[in-house]
Amino acid sequence: MTSPAPVLLEATNLSVSFQTDGPPVRAVKRVSFEVRKGEILAIVGESGSGKTVSSRAMVGLLPRTARIEGEARIDQTELIGLHGEAIRRVRGDRIAMIFQEPSTALDPVRTAGWQICEALLSHQNISRKEAMARAVELLDLVGIPDPEIRVHSYPHQLSGGQKQRVMIAMAISCDPEVIIADEPTTALDVTVQAQILDLLHDLRERLGTAIILITHNMGVVADMADRVAVMFRGELVEQGTAEQIFNDPQHPYTKHLLGSVPRLGGARPATMDAVAAPPVEAELALSVRHLDVFFPGRIGSPPVKAVKDVSLELHRHEILALVGESGSGKTTLGRCAVGLQLPTGGELTVLGQELRGIRPAALRALRRRLAFVFQDPASSLNPRMSVADCISEPMRVHRTGTKAEREARVAELLDAVELPSDYANRYPHELSGGQRQRVSLARALVMDPELLVADEPTSALDVSVQAKVLEVFVRLQHQMGFACLFITHDLAVVDLLADRIAVMRSGELVELGSREEVLRNPQQQYTKDLIEAVPIPDPVVQKARRDVRRGKA
């Protein structure tokens, strides 16, 4: 980069505070950054870092309670303080936005074409008919098949990826100078994410649009960004080229963040590598034979086949990772294993007990030896029970132990999940997401289960917190030796802890094998696609992978 392109959008000392019932909350503190023509600037941060707020402040999309100070300029136009018609002319025409959740960012009662036309007609003096023709062109440009038909579709008739493409079509409709993409792929499956990122990359190259990419995913950053700005609790702690940030981070937060990101194909941390009890081949914790799970469809439509003819086995002391995208049936299978869902057909044997047709009393007895960890830390603990009560509930249910024994067990488990013992008297809302997941884990382990099903236990957590939870999890599995069905969509996490991996897609089992086999030498095309689509948090590696993908395409 010998002659840097001209600066397009520039924020200087931008601060945002919100008036609340209490004292004002400062969400963004004196943040400065710039983006040049044709450049992709990634603003990276975890939840609450102020990355979204700062970008929305520039286009006046914050609620009335926000107070904005500082400057933000596009070319010569000062944006802060613009009102009504003046800011409206900027939005969509000069600065466009793409949102995180395409299914809520599209008006559900308007067709895709209607909404694209609306964007066009708001800024250009063209007829409705011309706008419609342009909408079809745009849908074609963002890679939607049969654009003439899709232009008349309502959002609920489109897939998640298609909806995000419609959002992108809307964003580029008026040839904006800058696109702010706020977590554009977070709500999407990894293979769809790769396609959307390719599309954005492509648009930047073809149209020369500058992109501000807001994300928490370091893999996406490495894949896309020219320059990176790292935000932490409202402040911009570090800024530089992608290479600088990844290879030579300066701020302790950046270092911590990069250290926490699990890497597909990366080395396992020493703490996770020591295998205490090797899997026992002969004993099965879970055996699934030709399992079908169907849900009744709406009146007049066929049943939904969530799981189709799946067979797999889980040995004692083993971690089997169940991997797949949304709708793959992985969660349904996991729920079957603990009797939360009844199978439609096939055999399901848990710890030697056939689950189909089991009596309620027998199921309750069996459940002493089973446990489940849920995804959402916000709702996995009863808000009205103290941490100690939450953890010891299974003991009370099964009437084991005296009060003193239960207390001792709670203290022991809190220690095991590395929480201070005084947390026993706290309530869930006083804990952070990561701490709550550790309490969930403690509750799951209180009866010394032989089989644990963990459903995306870390997906709702920030990366820097996830690392800790995973570390605790693996250590306890090694110590206690329970068999584990670990359900996740994140291949990097799988690579950290799984013994074997099962890949599922649309209810069917695609591939099953050891971690090495599946991740390093996949046999099925879908598995290969899945691995290919995961962005690696390393700009150099990721660029090489992208070039390979381009060459193939």
Partner 1 sequence: MATKQRSSSAALLRYLGVRLALVVPTVLILVTLVFFLMRVIGDPISAKLGGQLTPDELERRREAAGYNRPIFVQYFEYLGNVVQGDFGTASKDNRKILDVVLTNGAATVELVCWSLIIAFLVGIPLGRLAARYHDRLADVTIRFFAVLVYAAPVFFLGLVLKLIFGAHGLGILPTSMRVSRTTELALADLGYDSHFMIVDALRSGQWVYISDVLKHAILPAVALGLMEAGIFIRLIRINLLETLRTDYVVAARARGVAERRVVSKHAFRNALIPVVTVMGMEIALMLCGAILTETTFEWPGLGYALSQYLLARDFVAVQGIVTAIALLVAVISFLIDVINALVDPRVRY
Partner 2 sequence: MPTLKSALRKIPGVKLLGTTHGLQRLMLLIGSGIMALFVLVAIFADSLAPYALAQRKYQGEFFGKQQPPSSDHILGTTVEGYDVLSRVIYGARTALLVVIMAVAASIVIGVALGVISGYLGGWLDRILVLIMDAVYAFPSLLLAIVVAIVISGGSSSGFGGMMAASLSITVVFVPRYFRVVRNATLSAKSLPYVEAAKVGGARPGRIMFGHVLPNVSQSIPVLLTLNASEAILTLASLGFLGFGIEPTSASEWGRDLSTATTSDLTNGIWWTSVYPGLAIVLVVTGVTLIGESLNDVLNPLLRTRGGTTTADERELEETVLGSQADMPDDVPAAVAGHVTEGAEAPEGGAR
Place of tokens 């996406």: 220
Place of tokens 């403690």: 442
User: Binder to partner 2 among 36, 37, 88, 233 (CB under 8 A)?
Assistant: 233
How would you classify the pairing of strands 66-74 and 77-78? antiparallel
DSSP class per residue in 428-461: GGGS-HHHHHHHHHHHHHTT--SEEEEESTTTTS
Which residues are 39's β-sheet partners? none
Nearest Cα residue to 112 out of 181, 67, 65, 159? 159
Which residues are 483's β-sheet partners? 451
- Give yes or no for residue 368 binding partner 2 (CB under 8 A): yes
Residues 476-495 that bind partner 2 (CB under 8 A): none
- Give yes or no for residue 109 binding partner 1 (CB under 8 A): yes
Angle, vertex CA 391, rays to CA 385 and CA 396, nearest 5 = 85
Place of tokens 């090489």: 544
**Between 123 and 546, CB nearer to partner 1:** 123
Residues 6+ apart with CB under 8 A from 336: 288, 291, 293, 307, 342, 343, 348, 355
- Give yes or no for residue 265 binding partner 2 (CB under 8 A): no
Backbone angles phi, psi at 305, to 5 degrees: -95, 100
**Between 22 and 108, CB nearer to partner 1:** 108
Task: Check: CB of residue 42 under 8 Å from CB of residue 18.
Answer: no
- Binds 462: which of partner 1, partner 2, none (CB < 5-8 Å by kind): partner 2
Nearest Cα residue to 514 out of 319, 280, 297, 241? 319
CB of 87 to partner 1, least distance (A): 9
Distance in angstroms (rounded) separating the CA atoms of residues 262 and 269: 10
- Give yes or no for residue 460 binding partner 1 (CB under 8 A): no
Distance in angstroms (rounded) separating the CA atoms of residues 47 and 419: 22
Reported as type and span, the H/E element at residue 35 is strand 25-36
Place of tokens 């209810």: 507
CA 75 to the chain's CA centroid:
35
- Give yes or no for residue 99 binding partner 2 (CB under 8 A): no
Residues 174-203 that bind partner 1 (CB under 8 A): 174
84-92, 108-116, 280-288, 386-394 -> range binding partner 2 (CB under 8 A): 386-394
40-48, 153-161, 429-437, 455-463 -> range binding partner 1 (CB under 8 A): 153-161
How would you classify the pairing of strands 280-295 and 235-241? unpaired
The amino acid that residue 124 corresponds to is: Q
> x-or-dash pattern for partner 1, window 268-307, by CB under 8 A?
-------------------------------xx-------
**Between 135 and 391, CB nearer to partner 1:** 135
- Give yes or no for residue 16 binding partner 2 (CB under 8 A): no
CB atoms within 10 A of CB 103: 14
- Give yes or no for residue 372 binding partner 2 (CB under 8 A): yes
CB of 145 to partner 1, least distance (A): 14
**Between 146 and 405, CB nearer to partner 1:** 146
32-40, 93-101, 133-141, 440-448 -> range binding partner 1 (CB under 8 A): 93-101
- Binds 101: which of partner 1, partner 2, none (CB < 5-8 Å by kind): partner 1
CB of 109 to partner 1, least distance (A): 6
Nearest Cα residue to 134 out of 478, 532, 142? 142
24-32, 152-160, 185-193, 319-327 -> range binding partner 2 (CB under 8 A): 24-32
78-86, 88-96, 300-308, 332-340 -> range binding partner 2 (CB under 8 A): 332-340
Residues at the site binding partner 2, with contacts judged by CB under 8 A:
19-26, 29, 46-48, 65, 232-235, 252-253, 256, 338-340, 364-365, 367-368, 370-372, 374-376, 379-384, 390, 393-394, 397-398, 426-427, 429-435, 440, 443-444, 447, 462, 464-465, 468
Residues at the site binding partner 1, with contacts judged by CB under 8 A:
59, 61, 84-85, 88-93, 96-97, 99, 101, 104-110, 115, 118-119, 122-123, 148-149, 152-154, 156-157, 167, 170-171, 173-174, 299-300
